[in-house]
Amino acid sequence: MSDQGERLQKILARAGVASRRAAEELIAAGRVTVNGRVAGLGDRADPARDAIKVDGKRVQLPSRHRYLLLNKPRAVMSTVSDPEGRPTVIDLVPPALRKALVPVGRLDFLTEGLLLLTDDGDLAQRVAHPRYGCAKVYEAKVEGEPGERALAKLRGGIVLHGRRTTPAKIVRHRPRGGRPAEPGSSSWWRVELHEGRTRQIREMFQRVGHPVLRLRRVAIGPITDSSLPLGAVRELTEREVEALRHAGPGRAGAPRAGSGRAGRDRSAPGRGGGRRAAAPRGTGGRAGGGSRRPAGPRKGGGGKAGGGGRRGSRPRRGGSGG
């Protein structure tokens, strides 16, 4: 074990074993060893020289990290696996791309939209943890139409699980090409959050008497993709990854100065974007290739909306907001 090396939790995060917070829990539980010795919090190591193991398995740093963007459908769990057998986001990733991937944050069972998957624990921490201020943008269809008094209450934050949420940006939204609703029957709203508590948006609108009828996430920091089909997955471009590393407050769905637009309207598929991978069919699936619309989730994916699968090593801060 080296005093001059890198903190163990950071090494484990870079290796895609766990987020830094989850890695600290692994270390505290005595599940991490360095050169045969049980490691402790604060220990350092050199991954090039030291034998670092978790539950007896050697940790290897990847030569190249993987960054995927998935458009999650409803009735799919944002977990690596599910004890109830419901479909998970990993099922939608081609088998050749799945190794060590974890979802960054989560979307609840009935929420659809953009979700990052990566084996880069450092980036996952930066995107998911509220202290970095990486905004997430959602479009919510709610019952009826909230008045200004209700909206002011939501924008200022609500007490959720004993703690007040940070202020949210909420503006009226009119989806393109959507069928106009009857006046007063329902309305669409665009909501920007900088911290996402579990089911936060659903709880917010429920509190003011306007339950959410449909919810989708449309931006993660500067990353958007309006043409990615539901259930499809693609790799991020290098520019998009770099934009995420610098994402902070006020940058949701917006370009970084001098770097071009990271969040593109991909209405012309294949123009300048990352490689899009087709989701597998059944247990097979091809590892790469075009923009073919993937097969939908397996039948029998129903279940309780609040149910949870095994969370594995995905980042637990940041929540879903959904």
> For the domain that residue 22 is a member of, what is the CATH number?
3.10.290.10
**What is residue 305's predicted lDDT score, i.e. its pLDDT?**
37
Per-residue b/e over 183-211, b at no fewer than 16 CB within 10 Å? eeeebbbbbbbbbbbbbbbbebbeebebe
- Catalytic residue status for 91: no
Confidence of residue 125 (pLDDT cuts 50, 70, 90): confident
pTM of the model: 0.68
- How many domains does the structure of the chain reveal? 2
The yes-or-no verdict on residue 153 having pLDDT over 60 is: yes
**Structure confidence by residue, pLDDT tens digits, 208-254:** 999 999 999 999 999 999 999 999 999 999 999 999 998 876 556 64
Q: 107 and 248 in one domain? A: yes
pLDDT above 70: percentage of residues in the chain: 74
Q: 86 and 44 in one domain? A: no
**Structure confidence by residue, pLDDT tens digits, 198-209:** 899 999 999 999
Q: 136 and 260 in one domain? A: yes
Q: CA Rg, the chain, in Å?
A: 20
Q: 185 and 241 in one domain? A: yes
**Structure confidence by residue, pLDDT tens digits, 66-96:** 999 999 999 999 998 899 999 999 999 999 8
Q: 13 and 161 in one domain? A: no
Q: 169 and 38 in one domain? A: no
DSSP assigned state of 274? P
Q: 255 and 193 in one domain? A: yes
Residue among 114, 256, 119 nearest 196 (CA): 114
- Report whether 59 contacts 35 (CB < 8 A): no
**Structure confidence by residue, pLDDT tens digits, 285-309:** 333 333 444 444 444 443 333 344 4
Q: Which domain holds residue 34?
A: 6-58
Q: 15 and 69 in one domain? A: no
What is the arithmetic mean of pLDDT over 17-34?
91
Q: 207 and 115 in one domain? A: yes
Assigned domain for 155 exists: yes
What is the arithmetic mean of pLDDT over 140-149?
96
Q: 146 and 124 in one domain? A: yes
Alpha-carbon distances of 245 from 88, 100, 228, rounded to whole Å: 26, 20, 22
Indicate the range of 4-18, 25-39, 162-176 predicted with least confidence.
4-18
Q: 305 and 187 in one domain? A: yes
Indicate the range of 7-21, 33-47, 193-207 predicted with least confidence.
7-21
**What is residue 91's predicted lDDT score, i.e. its pLDDT?**
96
Confidence of residue 15 (pLDDT cuts 50, 70, 90): confident
Higher pLDDT, 54 or 321: 54
Q: 67 and 26 in one domain? A: no
Confidence of residue 14 (pLDDT cuts 50, 70, 90): confident
Query: Number of C-alpha atoms within 13 angstroms, CB side, residue 49?
Result: 9
| Site of tokens 């998911």 | 128
Q: Please, what is the end-to-end C-alpha distance for the chain in angstroms?
A: 42
Q: Which residues pair with 69 in a beta bridge?
A: 116, 234
Mean pLDDT of the chain: 80
Strands 52-54 and 44-45: unpaired
CATH code of the domain containing 121: 3.30.2350.10
Out of 43, 108, 120, 225, the active site residue is 108
**What is residue 54's predicted lDDT score, i.e. its pLDDT?**
96
Assigned domain for 1 exists: no
